[in-house]
A and B are shown apart, each in its own frame.
Chain A
Amino acid sequence: MRQPLLLLLAFTGACASSGARAGQTPAPAAAATPAASAESTSVGRLQYPSTYVRHPNPPVVIRNATIMTATGQEIPTGSIAFKDGRIVAVGAKVEVPTGAVVVDGTGKFVTPGLIDDHSHIGVYAAPGTDAESDGNEATTPVTAEVWAEHSFWPQDPQIPLAIAGGITTIQALPGSANLIGGRSAILKLIPARTVQEMKFPGAHYGLKMACGENPKRVYGRRGGPSTRMGNMAGYRAAFIQAEGYRRKWDAWNKDHKGDPPDRNLRLESLAEVLRGNMYVQNHCYRADEMAQMLDLAHEFGFKIRSFHHAVESYKIADLLAKEGTAVSVWADWWGFKEEAMDGIQQNAALNQQAGGRSIIHSDDPSGIQRLNQEAAKAMYAGQRAGIAVTRDQALRWITVNPAWAIGLDSVVGTLEPGKMADVVVWSGDPFSVYSKAVQVYNDGWLVYDRADPAHQPRTDFELGQVPAPGSDR
């Protein structure tokens, strides 16, 4: 048990699109890479490219399982086949590819790999000492120049725990101390030595922004902002600078005449947002503040991809649906600070009902292990209140909707032929408290098997000091 005060402290808490997946067999083009950005970036060269390579693995067929596709279908006794990292067939019966490993899925459920679009795994790694506290560059309110991947520690022991919960992709975000906290990292959740090996090829970077109490609290006595109006002025000043920076670079990129403009990492990130290459991921609790942020986005001509936490989003669900901005919310968190006082359990369901795009996120190394349970709570809370939410919609809250938020919904998030073989086998209905992920495939690779210690990855950190699950030391 942790002391409540410690829990409280825990809260105080584009791209140079790297293009094709390196060193790997070609796959259906539509699935291989998300739509590449049309406009120029500030810098033509590759920046910190992904070195992700699909792990070699045999074809797999899972038979006689309930297949939840996240495309509207739930196939009661169905099969799914995948090969070379791609789903090749989903249906009542599928052809078994040559050499396939056949898994009996009787009584089991199959879903797409779960996606958490708000995680601090790797940047706030366990064991949670100051040495691994790498999530907030809380030195100045606008740090668009920092990249979460440069903090990310692949040996964080929270990674295998999240994998065992069926998570296959995460957005690792900088924290919320700053108005503009930096670039997110979109990662395949796999055992790896370097973050580059985990970087989702072709993903759009996110830009973390934060409203409300956190920046005020952190900077109120350190030069500001100390008010919500100060927060707004801070975002505007930054984007005004970025507009000028973008103009200079776009002009130079047309003909490459003369010396290029000076590079500025901070403005480079913001210019990528203005070009639409980078997605704004906006920590924001209160409804009135979200409306302010939408106006800010209109002022500078960008889109806010998703409001994160958004505990009051149900109050403006109509507005958010109209704007096409998603909401990444918890099932039931509330009350830990004033801007979280109006959290209700029907938030995701009410946004769904209003035609919005709901996402259940974790923002928590414990919650990420049970994203399916969090979605279940939010779904049933909605249904009990008379709000129509289907199982498929609730599954989308933790699969294809977060995939959309990070620009990967054409690649992952559903079980459809051509999509990446990110697949989870559950011991039972994933919306039951008693069900657990029993197998997790990431790009076809069996990264976790609850029944087989050979497929239960452990980080370096754990060796020799964290007892292996199942051992009675």
Chain B
Amino acid sequence: MIAFLLAQTIAITGGTVYPVAGPKLAKATVLIRDGRIAAVGTDVSVPSDATRIDAAGKWVTPGLIDGAGQLGLVEISAVPGTREGSIQGDTIAAAFSVAEGINPASTLIPVTRIEGITTALAMPAGNLVSGQAVLIDLDGATIEQMLVKSPVGVVADLSESGKDDAGGSRARIAERLRQVFRDALEYERRKADFRRAQMQHLSASDEDLEALLPMLHGQVALIAQANRRSDIETALRLAREFKLKLIVAGGAEGWQIAGAIAAAGVPVLVEPMDNIPGYDSLGIRYENAAILARAGVKVALLETDTHKTRNLRQQAGNAVSYGMTWDQALRAVTLAPAEIFGVADRYGSLAPGKVANVVVWSGDPFEFTTGVEHVFIRGKEIALKSRQTELLERYRKLPPTY
């Protein structure tokens, strides 16, 4: 799946390295070979053919992973012609995978990756079952080159906004999902009957029911958007009943039942700076991520506004400000999302054999003073350029020259 276009050896030397999987290393080297991390440590010998990157005084971390948004699926939010993240006419849109909607040429991708975000979940939206989310690296000329994992999970909306697609009541959201899940399992058992039209009517299309099977067999996750405490509890209940691998997205009132979420072993995707009360989550608050993490819940942090994905590090900084430890927050934007999305064997930490998504920062990645010095995606150094840097250069001196 991963194409290594530039086979080369790169040594990032002398920086303070945060491997995430282990303690930080002062004056350490990260050796990258053929797109993978070859070695990390303070006594790594640098091959003579390696390109050296001097990171003395700099901080080196894995590339950040945002667990939300629609990178590649939206160019201009208000222009429907540039949006690919939702479909109409199917409230159970389980078969809708966003993968082939991704635009590798999106201007949002360079804007985002030059600020240290190297990997992101591209999520479908809308409908009761929105579709399938995929994980992408923010580099690649083709969709195939960008995909890290497809699908990561099936997205369902158990929040207030899901009600409209379930007849208008939260109770019906759960009933409807149960019915669809049961029908999918029934369909699987009786595919032959289905083809001969010898089955009673099923509550979703065969295409959508088929698409739910990997989730119902625990091979991919159910990513359930739920914010109200009772909605999170409904998600937990459904996961118990159908033995699902559940990921709660949003989880605004999760702090109220952090122990129960931890006991269920369910991870939560949290947007730390979200705290405006609405009827979907009157208990929303800044301390959510910290309280969940303290209770032992695996937390990944989000920036859900796709055009502002680069502010993931500000989200993480604010999570620290409201009670997460700094180490927890770094983990929550690197290794934790990699684990939650099932790619921790390849992503999320600086360790030999892992995909070389590496960022060199001028300092603490969460601080505003800090700039990005180098970004590597799959071992390839990314030019720190975007449409926005081009606009800056054009208008730096007025009047501009054309």
A219 on interface, CB distance cutoff 8 Å: no
Contact A354:B277 (CB < 8 A) given known A4-B74, A8-B78, A433-B321: no
Contact A3:B307 (CB < 8 A) given known A433-B367, A467-B285: no
Q: How far is the CB of B126 from chain A (nearest CB, A)?
A: 6
Q: Which residue of chain A has the shortest Cβ distance to B282 in the bound complex?
A: A466
A38 on interface, CB distance cutoff 8 Å: no
CB of B79 within 8 A of CB of A338, answer yes
Q: Which residue of chain B has the shortest Cβ distance to A467 in the bound complex?
A: B283
A315 on interface, CB distance cutoff 8 Å: yes
Q: Contacts of B269 on A, CB cut-off 8 Å? A: 1
Per the bound structure, the CA–CA distance linking A338 and B77 in Å amounts to 8
A interface SS class? loop
Q: Which residue of chain B has the shortest Cβ distance to A316 in the bound complex?
A: B398
Q: Contacts of A341 on B, CB cut-off 8 Å? A: 76
CB of B250 within 8 A of CB of A1, answer yes
B125 in complex: contacting residue of A4, A354, A472, CB < 8 Å: A4
Q: How far is the CB of B333 from chain A (nearest CB, A)?
A: 13
CB of B278 within 8 A of CB of A126, answer yes
Residue among A2, A5, A157, A379 with max Cβ neighbours from chain B (10 Å): A2
CB of B276 within 8 A of CB of A318, answer no
Q: Contacts of B70 on A, CB cut-off 8 Å? A: 4
List of 5 A-B pairs having minimum Cβ-Cβ separation, nearest first? A433-B317, A1-B250, A337-B78, A335-B307, A376-B368
CB of A3 within 8 A of CB of B274, answer no
Q: Contact residues of B with A, CB < 8 Å? A: 68-70, 74-79, 85-86, 107-108, 125-126, 157, 161, 225, 227, 249-250, 255-256, 269, 271, 273-279, 282-283, 285, 287, 291, 302, 304-308, 310-311, 314, 317-318, 320-321, 366-369, 371, 388, 391-392, 395-396, 398-400
CB of B395 within 8 A of CB of A4, answer no
CB of A434 within 8 A of CB of B108, answer no
Q: Which residue of chain B has the shortest Cβ distance to A161 in the bound complex?
A: B275
CB of B304 within 8 A of CB of A342, answer no
A1 in complex: contacting residue of B274, B311, B371, CB < 8 Å: B274
21 contacts between A and B (CB under 8 A): A3-B161, A4-B85, A4-B125, A127-B277, A127-B279, A128-B278, A129-B279, A315-B395, A335-B76, A335-B107, A345-B388, A366-B273, A366-B274, A370-B273, A373-B314, A380-B369, A384-B371, A385-B396, A433-B367, A434-B320, A434-B366
A221 on interface, CB distance cutoff 8 Å: no
Q: How far is the CB of B33 from chain A (nearest CB, A)?
A: 31
Q: Give 6 A-B pairs besides A431-B369, A434-B317 with Cβ atoms closer than 8 angstroms.
A: A1-B68, A127-B279, A127-B282, A335-B76, A466-B277, A466-B283
Contact A314:B395 (CB < 8 A) given known A335-B76, A376-B368: yes
What total of chain A residues lie within 8 Å of the partner, measured CB to CB? 61
Q: How far is the CB of A376 from chain B (nearest CB, A)?
A: 4
Contact A344:B75 (CB < 8 A) given known A333-B308, A373-B368, A432-B367: no
Residue among B225, B277, B317 with max Cβ neighbours from chain A (10 Å): B277
Per the bound structure, the CA–CA distance linking A152 and B303 in Å amounts to 30
Q: Contacts of B273 on A, CB cut-off 8 Å? A: 366, 370
Q: Contacts of B255 on A, CB cut-off 8 Å? A: 472
Per the bound structure, the CA–CA distance linking A338 and B81 in Å amounts to 12
B interface SS class? loop
Residue among B273, B304, B314, B366 with max Cβ neighbours from chain A (10 Å): B314
Per the bound structure, the CA–CA distance linking A462 and B69 in Å amounts to 30
Contact A350:B395 (CB < 8 A) given known A335-B108, A338-B76, A344-B388: yes
Per the bound structure, the CA–CA distance linking A345 and B400 in Å amounts to 18
CB of A335 within 8 A of CB of B392, answer no
Per the bound structure, the CA–CA distance linking A318 and B400 in Å amounts to 11
CB of B304 within 8 A of CB of A1, answer yes
Per the bound structure, the CA–CA distance linking A161 and B367 in Å amounts to 23
Q: Which residue of chain A has the shortest Cβ distance to B308 in the bound complex?
A: A332
CB of A5 within 8 A of CB of B126, answer yes
CB of A3 within 8 A of CB of B78, answer no
Q: Contacts of A333 on B, CB cut-off 8 Å? A: 307-308
Per the bound structure, the CA–CA distance linking A91 and B80 in Å amounts to 56
Q: Contacts of A8 on B, CB cut-off 8 Å? A: 77-78
Per the bound structure, the CA–CA distance linking A2 and B366 in Å amounts to 23
Per the bound structure, the CA–CA distance linking A335 and B398 in Å amounts to 24
Q: Which residue of chain B has the shortest Cβ distance to A372 in the bound complex?
A: B368
CB of B321 within 8 A of CB of A436, answer yes
Q: How far is the CB of A212 from chain B (nearest CB, A)?
A: 11
Q: Contacts of B85 on A, CB cut-off 8 Å? A: 4
Q: Contacts of B108 on A, CB cut-off 8 Å? A: 335
A7 on interface, CB distance cutoff 8 Å: yes
Complex interface bits, A237-249 against B, C-beta within 8 A gives 1, otherwise 0 = 0000000000000
Q: How far is the CB of A379 from chain B (nearest CB, A)?
A: 8
CB of B78 within 8 A of CB of A4, answer no
Per the bound structure, the CA–CA distance linking A108 and B317 in Å amounts to 19
Residue among A3, A336, A343, A432 with max Cβ neighbours from chain B (10 Å): A3
Q: Contacts of B278 on A, CB cut-off 8 Å? A: 126-128
